[in-house]
Each structure stands twice: as C-alpha cells, then as structure tokens.
Structure 1
Amino acid sequence: MSLSDKYFEVDFPLIVTRKVHSIRSRPLLSKPILELHSEDSLQGDGHMLDSKRYAIIGADLRDLPTLEEKLKKCNMNAQLPTLLVTECVLVYMTPEQSANLIRWAASSFETAMFISYEQVNMDDRFGQIMIENLRRRQCDLAGVEPCKSLESQKERFLSNGWETASAMNMMELYSRLPQAEVSRIESLEFLDELELLEQLMTHYCLCWATRGGSKLGLSEVTC
C-alpha cells in the first residue's frame, strides 16, 4: 500500500476471483470505489480489479516476475513511500522463497516499511505441538525455520537488504496497550484461559523492517 496514493491487495488467483465477484455484485463493496471514479475506471478481469485508489491482484508471491508485471500494470509507483504488510504469509513459503520476496521488496522500493505478522518461538514444546497439529491437518509450515526467535525474524530482513528491523511478541504488545483498550477488548470476548492465551500470544509476533525514509522517521519506529 503506497501511503499517499493507492492500496494494493495480493492473493492467490482463485481467492481474488471470488473477491472480485463479490465487489462487482455488491453495491456496499463497489460503491465506495465508484463514488470516486466513473464506472469505466473500474477495470480488470476475473483475476484482477484496478481503480485509481484500489487494486486487487491474483498472483503467487513466489513468482516475483509475474507479481511485478501485474503490479506495474496496475500503476504501482515504487518511488512513493510504501507500506507492505503480510499476515501469516511468509511461514507458508520455503525460507529461500520468503528471502527472495523480502529481497525483492527491499530492492524495489526506495522508501518502505515491511510489517510481518506470524509465528515465533517455534522451537519450544508449545511450538512443536502447533506444528504437529497443523501437519495432521495437512497444513505444513514450509517456512518455519526463520520463526525460531525474534532474533531470527529480524535477521531474515537485515540479511536481505533492509536497514533496520525490530520484533515483538504479541503478549508484550498486548501488555503495552492502554488499560482502557485492554478492558474494551476483554469485555468483547470473555477470557477464562489466560495461561493458554499467554502461551499462544508469545508464539506470534510482529516484525517490522525499514529502508530509507529518514525524513519520515521510519528508522525511529523501534520497540
């Protein structure tokens, strides 16, 4: 997502086909786009939808040439400060494939921040049980190797072209929220297994990396 220009969403082509159909067939989804632009500007096919402020692209993040081609087709401007966000994405790629994606992002955008949310501390007993349970469901975490620790999460970015990297497990992040916000969250969903919640949240993290952006203060966004 370019900070001042355009939001890009990338998912597998099959998922994007369903999302494009939903957008086109539901005024609640399509109206916000069409209010900004004429209907003719809502372009694309079953695997892609593009407008001035929003684009959804069907692509495999492991196929970087095709990804880059489709992003450029939707007028991605790599000169703008850009925020990239992945949520439990890298862990399903092999370490080599995720490293290629991270390196591509570092080389493609002059000023950027990359935020990744996924598993951490997967070497301990709780982490191994998570892996085993997912494997029984035929869901293999091909990229679990860099998820051993917060340090290994940061290192994957620092060794692939990013200038700074920070990481924090979700329990620590949760503990830093304002108490009023914690109370609001806990009033929405009653938590009676606090020990299990703590175990789970210490096995997920946010890792963020930056390059460029000294005037924006990106390098100052640390733990």
Structure 2
Amino acid sequence: MDTAFWTLKVCTDFFRVFYQDEGLLPRKYFEVDFPVIVTRKLHSIKFKSLLSKTNLDLHSEETLQMDGQMLDSKRYAIIGADLRDLPELEEKLKKCNMNTQLPTLLMTECVLVYMTPEQSANLLKWAANNFETAMFINYEQVNMDDRFGQIMIENLRRRQCDLAGVETCKSLESQKERLLSNGWETASAVNMMELYSRLPRAEVSRIESLEFLDEMELLEQLMQHYCLCWATRGGSELGLKEITC
C-alpha cells in the first residue's frame, strides 16, 4: 500500500496484524512510545525469533538501524519520544525518513487524555499542519462529566494515575470540536456501545463466547464512556467523501 501509517498506540500492531498479512502493509509503519517502553519492545524484537526473523526487512543489515531507543528499517520504525516534545518527535521521525507527502493514517489509543488540553492541541495542530492528506483516529474516554465518569476519574486518581486532559472528554461534541479547532477539516465520533451494537451479530456472538459475562449492564456503562473519533484532511485524496460507522 502506498501509504504511511503512524501509530501512537502502546501495542505493536505491526507484528500483531500486518505480519499476518503482508498485503496489508503500508509503505512504512511508524510507532511512537516513551523511550523506556521502546527499550523493552526492542529487547523483545531482538531476542524473540518470531519477531526478529520476519520477512519485512527487520533482519537486513542493509536497511536496519537500531539503538537503545529506536529501530528503523525499510517498512517499520519504532521511536522512543515524548509526544509533548514536538521538536524532538519531528527530528526523530525525519531521521527515520518519514514522508509527509504520502497519505497518512495516524492513530492514538488512550494517549491524548494523559496530556494537558494545550499539549494535545499542539500535537493535533502539528499533525494537521504537517500531513496535508491524512486521517487521524483517536480512542479514549468520553462522557466523563456524569457520575460513572467521575467514579472512573476518582479510582484512577487513587492509583496515582491522573487524566490531565479529561476536560476534553466531556462529550462526543467536545471530542469532535477539539479536532476541528486544531486544523482538521472533518470530524466524527461515536461511543463504543453504539459501535458495538452495529457489529455483525455473528461477530458479537464470537466475541461474547470468548469469556462468560453476566454483567452486561456494567459493560454497557463502560463502553458508553469510551469513544472512537476520527478526522480527515484532504479527504478527496484519501478516496473518502464520508466515513460512518
């Protein structure tokens, strides 16, 4: 696929998804995480044969560059960086030959909520300004102003886990507005319960058969407090007029 793929997710989808089907691979896949996390991931890549012996140029000395906080190869790069430090992030992406002219998919999973609203706004603006043809997908909390949301915040705070950006997670509208006010041309959002209800029934049955669940009401409450948001720039170039769930 003649597309760049930039993920800010914690898990390594490159190996979990794309390695299973090389036909799904974009031109290059970039993953960004905290340096300490990247160091652990690099250790796994280096010493687990299933990962180090892929056929995706990770084992080629001609294309592979690897140090304690970064790996760069022809099809995959993982970078240790703090997303709040945009000059450092940009420098490391350039070092790994990020091509901002390609249509690019950017993904974050419970990342922006741990930044202050100003910090996440700066990241979103930076992405919108640097990628003319792009789609941004964000998964994180929503509806955090109600009682259930407040209990979630309190529980996390007791574990010394502060959601610095929770004020942007008040509603689906506030999630969309954040994207639109920071340079993205279109924005949509849906809570995970609504998304789950639109899955094919066969897939729902498969998921629910994996583990017995007798607290469906609690699951529904939880899923109503997480959402999937997406935004685009240059949508016509992406081949997308509108995306609906």
Tell me, yes or no, whether TM beats 0.5: yes
Q: CA deviation at 1:36?
A: 6.8
What is the aligned counterpart of 1:21 among 35, 43, 49?
A: 43
- Residue of structure 1 equivalent to 2:163: 141
Q: Specify whether residues 89 and 36 from structure 1 end up closer, same or farther in structure 2 by C-alpha distance, changes over 3 A only.
A: closer
Give the share of equivalent positions with the same residue, in percent: 84
User: Does structure 2 retain, via aligned residues, the 8 Å contact 1:169–1:206?
Assistant: yes
- Residue of structure 1 equivalent to 2:20: none
Ranges in structure 1 where 5+ consecutive residues have no aligned partner = none
Q: Specify whether residues 37 and 31 from structure 1 end up closer, same or farther in structure 2 by C-alpha distance, changes over 3 A only.
A: closer
Aligned Cα root-mean-square deviation (Å): 1.4
Q: Specify whether residues 156 and 95 from structure 1 end up closer, same or farther in structure 2 by C-alpha distance, changes over 3 A only.
A: same
Measured in 1, the distance between the counterparts of 2:166 and 2:152 equals 11
- Residue of structure 2 equivalent to 1:2: 4
Q: CA deviation at 1:215?
A: 3.5
Amino acid at match of 2:102: L
Measured in 1, the distance between the counterparts of 2:164 and 2:81 equals 19
What is the aligned counterpart of 1:67 among 75, 85, 89?
A: 89
Measured in 2, the distance between the counterparts of 1:193 and 1:105 equals 40
Moved more, 38-47 or 116-125: 38-47
Q: Does 1:31 align with 2:53?
A: yes
- Residue of structure 1 equivalent to 2:212: 190
Q: How many residues get paired? A: 223
TM-score relative to the length of structure 1:
0.96
TM-score relative to the length of structure 2:
0.88
Q: CA deviation at 1:33?
A: 4.9
- Residue of structure 1 equivalent to 2:68: 46
User: Does structure 2 retain, via aligned residues, the 8 Å contact 1:121–1:149?
Assistant: yes
Q: CA deviation at 1:38?
A: 2.2
- Structure whose residues are more often helix by fraction: 1
Measured in 2, the distance between the counterparts of 1:83 and 1:51 equals 19
Superposed, 1:197-216 pairs within 5 Å as: 197-216=219-238
